[in-house]
Structure 1
Amino acid sequence: MKKSLVFAMAMALGISTTAFAANPFSDLSPGHWAYGAVAKLAAAGVVDGYPDGTFKGNRTMTRYEMAQIVAKALAKGAISADDRLISEFADELDNLGVRIARLEKNADNVKITGNIRTHYVHTTGDRGRSSVTKTRSRLFFTGEVNDNWHYTGMLQNEQQWNNKGKNDSGDSDTDFQRAFLTGHIGAVDVTAGRYGAFYGDGNIYDTRVDGINAKTKFGNAYAGATWGKMANKSTYGWTGLNETDKEKQAKAKASKAGEFTQAVLGGDIGNLNLEASYYHIKDLKTEWVSGSNNIWTAAANYKAGDWNGGIMYLHGDADELVNGVEPDHDGWVAKLGYKGATAAKPGSWGLYAQYYDQGGATYVAHTMCGDYAAFGPAGFKGWMVGGNLTVAKNMVAKVEYYDLKTRDANDDLKIKDGDHSRTLWSQIVVTF
């Protein structure tokens, strides 16, 4: 096979022989009839010369060499998959060129990202005292199933460095915590599998679920619904920050995931967001929770320049949680924030504060880092202040302080009116 076939291919690709580019080969004269075509093919990365800088246009090519050129032309979009060259070199392309191209395409579609978080938390007060240091590593795997559907998986490791008064052994735990698909069916966005759920701005639930969620937008409004199970049995149900992993595992064995349904309706009016949501949770069983609960929320959030604020009302109708304890059914949360750290912008920072007043029937697994678990189903109230700072690109530090106290005294649970729990939480998160 002669290199003259390459010239013919160049013309078949629609590359003008009069279109000149810099001479890539020492043995190809600018006066040659195919100079322009070869120069353009070389510039496009379709043909390569030899290590000595020559083209050797009169040398006989192997089918392997020609198949490589055809594969490159296909990858560059210079020819289509139904071109006659593809059928002519089908065997060579299947064994070499196209197979490599498919692997490269798949490699582009699969991405690995992650973050590492080290935190220190110190809790004092009437409900106990503890100091805990942990490092949490997460690896996220994302891949394209097709143009419409995408997969995400997440592997997590937690390394406990110390838990003063409880455990200093450096326990470590690794598990696969996320595996879900995202895509859309018409105008409806769908998420299905085990994924992280954030309900009621985290004031109700902030951990993983096994479920299917559908949401859609219409103008400035949106609606959504979820069905599934609250999957993270070792986390929900008021698990204390000062507990050891073994204590949490013991609670998990006695726990039962709760089937739930959720619906949300909201919309934007300028800088104002309004949202209402409903949650029906049944057959939930943990140390503090047994039975079913219905929770409603109504929230308003407003953003003005660098400032943002919001207020949320919550109501739960659980009549009994455990041991005859009847929780308070109502609660509310207010928040205020200024700016905020952005991982990609070194030096960016933010300040924020929240006030909580929540009865025991209004939450399942709260997002906060304060030790609300100290009060069990009795409910809690109090405040927090915090700040974050991007100390370097993709390195964000955060500090929060919580001052919480019991909302409802309970003699059976040995919870006194006014019992306090104060928590200092600090962390740094590195993303990659």
Structure 2
Amino acid sequence: MKKSLVFAMAMALGVSATAFAANPFSDLPAGHWAYGAVAKLAAAGVVDGYPDGTFKGDKTMTRYEMAQIVAKALAKGAIGADDKLVSEFADELDNLGVRVAKLEKNADNVKITGNIRQSYDRTTGDFGKSDAAVLRSRLWFTGEVNDNWHYVGMLQNQQNWIGKNESGDSETTFQRAFLTGNIGVVNLKAGRDNNTYAEGNVWDHRTDAISASVKSGATYFNAAYGKLANKDGVNTDKSAGDKYFVGTIGGDLGNLNLEANYMKLDDTLGTNSDKGNTWVKGDNKIWTAAANYKAGDFKIGAMYLKGDNDYVDEKNGEDDGWVATLAYKGASAAKPGSWGLYGKYYDQGGATYLKHTMNGHYDMFGVDGFKGYMVGGNLTLAKNMVAAVEWYDLKDKGSTDNHAKTLWSQMVVTF
């Protein structure tokens, strides 16, 4: 931006040059046309100058420098959130991260965001053929309680075009409601939210819980206690389990991340394919150990899982497993044209998972669990518009050797 600091601030911020204030800068003479404007901005804390007491007002400024000034002007109330400068420098303000997040409270105590996802799922194999097309809309409400605490809620509408309900009838539910904040160095969250444990290889779904996390240098500790929510798609009126506890310890060693999890689950709900997919319950304990290494644009990961499920043990099902991951780059909603490729190989016994993060149909198999692979890719078509396609080939680890092959795709628009 080929403008000097003096001209840009005095004109763009609309501060009167005749404003009366003491001038703190040695290189801005009292006779300068912008003397009063700069003095007023300095008194309001919008500009600080340099450590040697100079202002350097003839220096050419960048867009980022101007965005920093706009951010300070917002914080000090010199301009409003609806000012044209805020729109002009929206991307730069967003890149300022925490500072901009703190400024949002000056515009509104409640922020509304959302996304729309159209997904399509086609599964073939030994279980027959099935199709599903779902349009899902989500609205997020974030309300400021005080400087440390926020309330978050989420309203979801889902329309099933193919599959369970081809009429296009919609269902609207209030699915998230929790408080998040901190007490000292401890970050806390309490209420209903979607929680992911062990990278989603054990659980990726809603819980009613209270969780705490602490970070010390490169090491972090997490713990959560609560109750598991229901499973989507099957027996939605039944809880996936009763009380649960999870503890996590992890840390970074350069580009290497190491993490271990312990999860105790009471009265978990699962299927027994030997009895026509009837529902059974059993307590479970799951331990996981994972390592992920980032090398440039590549990410390589591996996880070992060990379960101890009452029902699976009784049926002599598989109680351990492993997952390997390979990813290259990745689509970013803020960067049109960005893209990524990824793949996973699964070999998981029935005691090592409850509600998986994947889009393949792992839930068709019995207590022995499943194994197989997935490959996928994503692409940002335009800002805040990301498409993804995934292919799954999974089979039963038991004697049936049944396959379930799934082609899954989605388009997500965020606003």
TM range (shorter): 0.7 to 0.9
* Aligned counterpart for 2:237 among listed residues 253, 257, 269: 253
Please report how far the alpha carbon of residue 326 of structure 1 lies from its aligned counterpart in structure 2 after TM superposition.
Answer: 3.5
* CA distance in 2 between partners of 1:373 and 1:279 (Å): 20
The corresponding residue for 2:190 is 192
Contact 2:312–2:318 (CA under 8 A) maintained in structure 1: no
Query: Within 1, Cα distance between the matches of 2:156 and 2:209?
Result: 20
* SS of structure 1 residue aligned to 2:257: strand
Q: Provide, for residues 254-289 of structure 1, a one-character-per-residue CA deviation record: whole Å limited to 9, x for no partner.
A: 446421000001111110011111000012335544
Alignment-derived partner of residue 272 in structure 1: 256
Deviation of the 1:315 alpha carbon = 0.5
CA distance in 1: counterparts of 2:307 and 2:105, whole angstroms: 50
Match of residue 281 from structure 1: 265
Query: Residues 106, 178 of structure 1: CA spacing in aligned structure 2 closer, same or farther, 3 A cutoff?
Result: farther
- Partner residue of 1:88? none
2-side partners of 1:315 and 1:383: how far apart? Answer: 20
2:374 maps to what in 1? 384
**AA partner of residue 227 (structure 2):** K
User: Relative to structure 1, is the Cα distance of residues 217 and 406 closer, same or farther in structure 2, using a 3 angstrom cutoff?
Assistant: same
TM superposition score normalised by structure 1? 0.70
Give the structure 1 partner of residue 247 of structure 2: 263
In 2: Cα distance, 1:178 partner to 1:306 partner? 34
Identity of aligned residues (%): 59
1:14 shift after superposition:
7.0
Q: One-letter code of the match for 1:318?
A: N
Question: What runs of 5+ residues in structure 2 fail to find an aligned partner?
Answer: 1-18, 25-29, 45-75, 80-103, 272-278
User: 1:261 and 1:300 mapped to 2: Cα distance?
Assistant: 22
Residue number in structure 1 paired with 2:412:
429
Say if 1:150 and 1:21 are closer, same or farther in 2 by CA, change over 3 A: farther
C-alpha contact 1:160 1:172 (8 A) present in aligned 2: yes
Q: Considering only CA atoms, is the larger Rg found in Structure 1 or Structure 2? A: 1
Aligned twin of 1:137: 137
Distance (Å, rounded) in 1 between the aligned partners of 2:301 and 2:385 = 28
- Answer yes or no: is the 8 Å Cα contact 1:319–1:327 preserved in 2: no
Match of 2:209 in 1: 211
Aligned residue number for residue 319 of structure 2: 329
Partners in 2 of 1:145 and 1:314 — Cα distance?
A: 40
Aligned residues: 331
Question: Partner residue of 2:231?
Answer: 234
Q: Say whether residues 1:148 and 2:131 are aligned partners.
A: no
> Relative to structure 1, is the Cα distance of residues 193 and 423 closer, same or farther in structure 2, using a 3 angstrom cutoff?
same
Contact kept? 1:259, 1:284, Cα under 8 Å: no
Q: Does the CA-based 8 Å contact 1:254-1:286 persist in structure 2? A: no
In 2, distance between residues paired with 1:362 and 1:197? 17
C-alpha separation between the residues in 2 aligned to 1:112 and 1:255? 30
Q: Aligned partners of 2:118, 2:384: CA distance in 1, in Å? A: 14
Residue number in structure 2 paired with 1:419: 402
Match of 1:372 in 2: 362
Which residue is 2:177 aligned to?
179
1:373 is paired with a residue of what secondary structure? helix
Distance 1:380 1:152 in 2: 36
Q: TM-score, normalised by structure 2?
A: 0.73
Structure 1: segments with no counterpart, 5+ residues = 1-9, 23-35, 45-73, 78-103, 240-247, 410-415
Distance 2:289 2:393 in 1: 25
